[in-house]
């Protein structure tokens, strides 16, 4: 079969544009651990350095195994190019520092990962780069967004579904606004993965992933990826990656390549399980509120149904009795694991206000809709009946 004819996501996740990425008989991609690469002659070395000949020089600049991951992610996200880095935060920092300048600003949705908020609100402020926040809403008025944009605005940024409230933002609406101001829209697609959502197809110009999560899928590696236009990715490499050096290791790239092969089957199971758990919690007398875009009662349900293939494996809920009741639940689960991060095969439960989103000042957390009683659940791929029974037993202790 001609590789150019491969169009189904499931096939591309396994094969990419090639049946495999090896030059020998190995089926699995090779891990090229070398830090530096040999040249055949001084003339070849000079040609590689001046760009007239392709080749590898040093793994901080480029590495064959990392390149395999970058190629596959560009294909899956329908982008021109990709760069893989050491973590999701490295992906976010690399993007922001490439696009912004001292004295400039950018606009972000209020509800983002806690580390992202701290970087935007505190660290970039030290570099005289201003973050302007707007509350997430599926029906956000473009007029409200326009009012935050001026001649110094360098990009728009959003998460959808947002962490940890599962707010849904309309990517096409944000992208249209960005294009009207001739600035890029950057979307953190970690919760959805390229299988469930394609921001570039909806008008975004850059997509960010914490590859630690669903792409790796097994809680055993840390990595990040940015996908977008070739000129944006090359600028990012030249301006930030090559000299600041937040590069991904070849072994990590290999782990994520392996994880991507099973992304589709894992995500299908995550989504099925999350839907069942959400509907169980939605009808439980001790649960006051449920955050899951797959429920028709969710404010962003219609937008999520339009721009996502399925509704994802993440959900949040509030237990009657507030923070103390939530602690009882988290302290009495046995199958679910009390741990940060998400996208693992195991079901993970945590308290955003005191854990992942503790970098938010309390008032800012409230503005972002992150209540003190919110519990976040990353639903795993175990049998849904066992997950539900575990949470039900813990709720019985409240």
Q: Assign 377 to helix, strand or coil.
A: strand
> Which pair of tokens denotes residue 64?
């064959």
Q: Could you give the count of Cα atoms lying within 13 Å of 52 in the half-sphere of its Cβ?
A: 6
Looking up tokens 């030290």, which residue turns up?
Answer: 126
Helix pair angle (250-261, 263-282), 10° resolution: 70
Which residues lie below 8 Å from residue 147, measured CB to CB, with a gap of 6+?
Answer: none
Identify the bridge partners of residue 116 per DSSP, sorted by sequence position. Answer: none
Give the residue from 278, 280, 270, 292 showing the smallest Cα distance to 345.
270
Contact 335, 219 (CB under 8 A): no
213 given a catalytic annotation:
yes
Contact 170, 307 (CB under 8 A): yes
38 given a catalytic annotation:
no
Contact 217, 266 (CB under 8 A): yes
Select which of 32, 72, 113, 237 is catalytic: 113
- Conformation bin of residue 214: beta by default, left when phi > 0, alpha when psi is -120 to 50: alpha
Looking up tokens 């921001």, which residue turns up?
Answer: 199
Helices (H), the chain: 9-15, 42-50, 64-76, 88-99, 114-118, 124-126, 142-147, 171-180, 193-196, 230-236, 242-244, 250-261, 263-282, 301-307, 322-332, 362-367, 384-395
Identify the bridge partners of residue 105 per DSSP, sorted by sequence position. Answer: 130, 153
Give the residue from 289, 374, 286 showing the smallest Cα distance to 327.
374
6 given a catalytic annotation:
no
Q: How many of the other CB atoms lie within 10 Å of CB of 125?
A: 12
Say how far apart CA 90 and CA 189 lie, in whole Å.
Answer: 15
214 given a catalytic annotation:
no
CA distances from 148 to 105, 151, 372 (A): 10, 10, 29
Catalytic residues: 60, 113, 188, 213
């Amino acid at each position: 079969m001609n590789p150019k004819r491969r169009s189904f996501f499931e096939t591309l996740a396994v094969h990419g544009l090639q049946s495999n990425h090896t030059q020998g008989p190995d089926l699995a991609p090779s891990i090229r651990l070398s830090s530096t690469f040999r040249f055949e002659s001084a003339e070849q070395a000079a040609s590689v350095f001046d760009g007239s000949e392709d080749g590898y020089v040093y793994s901080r600049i480029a590495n064959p195994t990392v390149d395999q991951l970058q190629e596959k992610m560009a294909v899956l996200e329908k982008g021109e190019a990709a760069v893989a880095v050491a973590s999701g935060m490295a992906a976010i920092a690399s993007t922001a520092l490439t696009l912004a300048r001292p004295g400039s600003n950018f606009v972000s949705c209020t509800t983002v990962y806690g580390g992202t908020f701290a970087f935007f609100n505190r660290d970039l402020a030290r570099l005289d780069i201003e973050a302007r926040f707007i509350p997430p809403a599926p029906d956000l008025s473009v007029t409200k967004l326009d009012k935050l944009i001026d001649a110094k605005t360098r990009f728009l940024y959003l998460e959808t579904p947002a962490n940890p409230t599962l707010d849904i933002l309309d990517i096409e609406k944000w992208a249209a606004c960005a294009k009207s101001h001739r600035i890029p829209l950057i979307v953190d697609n970690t919760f959805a993965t390229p299988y469930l959502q394609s921001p570039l197809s909806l008008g975004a110009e850059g997509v960010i992933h914490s590859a630690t999560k669903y792409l790796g899928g097994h809680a055993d590696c840390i990595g990040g990826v940015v996908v977008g236009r070739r000129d944006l990715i090359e600028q990012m490499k030249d301006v930030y990656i090559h000299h600041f050096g937040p590069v991904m290791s070849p072994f990590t790239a290999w782990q994520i390549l392996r994880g991507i092969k099973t992304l589709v089957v894992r995500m299908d199971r995550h989504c099925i399980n999350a839907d069942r758990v959400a509907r169980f919690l939605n009808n439980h007398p001790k649960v006051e509120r449920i955050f899951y875009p797959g429920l028709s009662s969710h404010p962003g349900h219609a937008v999520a149904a339009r721009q996502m293939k399925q509704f994802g494996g993440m959900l949040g809920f509030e237990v009657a009795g507030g923070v103390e009741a939530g602690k009882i639940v988290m302290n009495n689960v046995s199958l679910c694991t009390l741990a940060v991060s998400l996208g693992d095969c195991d079901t993970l439960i945590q308290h955003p206000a005191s854990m992942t989103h503790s970098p938010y000042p309390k008032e800012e957390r409230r503005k972002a809709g992150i209540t003190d009683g919110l519990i976040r659940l990353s639903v795993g791929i175990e049998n849904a009946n066992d997950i539900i029974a575990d949470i039900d037993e813990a709720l019985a202790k409240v």
